[in-house]
Amino acid sequence: MIACRQDQGEQHVRRKDHRDFQRVARQFRGELERREKLYRGTRPALEIQGKTVILVDNGIATGASMYAAIMALRSRRPARIVIAVPVAPADVIARLDAIVDERLCVLASVEFVAVGRFYRDFDPTTDADVRRLLDEIRKVPA
């Protein structure tokens, strides 16, 4: 299930803004569906109901992606959701703490600028990288 949520920080959202959001949401939804098909293939989604799920990221900036992942997982009723990241802004971690069962964050910085500043090499992960890593993990006995 792929869902989009518009953050309405203001009391009202102009009609044009809403249409723009819907257009961008359709584009992102299409990209997410493409990646899901590429990465998972024909395999069904993992059964997570009643299990502990650990969400790992290379760092959190705004928290929007992590928030979306947490909300998507909540709808599938895991027993617990744990997030694990090396670095994030302290205020974002505080907000996420309210919606997860546990969190591991090596550095919750109040002077956060960007995730990439904490890495020597912060090249993007390619689709080929993801597929290779998923293929490797599938070979590991359960």
The tens digit of pLDDT for each residue in 80-116 reads 999 999 999 999 999 999 999 999 999 999 989 999 9
Q: Does position 12 have pLDDT exceeding 60, yes or no?
A: no
Structure confidence at residue 142 (pLDDT): 65
93 and 53 in a common domain: yes
39 and 83 in a common domain: no
Q: Is residue 2 part of a domain?
A: no
63 and 111 in a common domain: yes
Mean of pLDDT values over 8-27: 68
102 and 51 in a common domain: yes
116 and 57 in a common domain: yes
Compute the distance between CA of residue 50 and CA of residue 76 in angstroms, rounded to an integer. 9
Mean of pLDDT values over 44-55: 94
The domain spanning residue 93 has which CATH number? 3.40.50.2020
Q: Which domain holds residue 23?
A: 14-44
Q: Is residue 23 part of a domain?
A: yes
Local confidence band at 23 (pLDDT 50, 70, 90 cut-offs): confident
Q: Is residue 25 part of a domain?
A: yes
Percent of the chain with pLDDT over 70: 88
84 and 18 in a common domain: no
- State the pTM of this model: 0.78
111 and 74 in a common domain: yes
Q: Is residue 4 part of a domain?
A: no
51 and 29 in a common domain: no
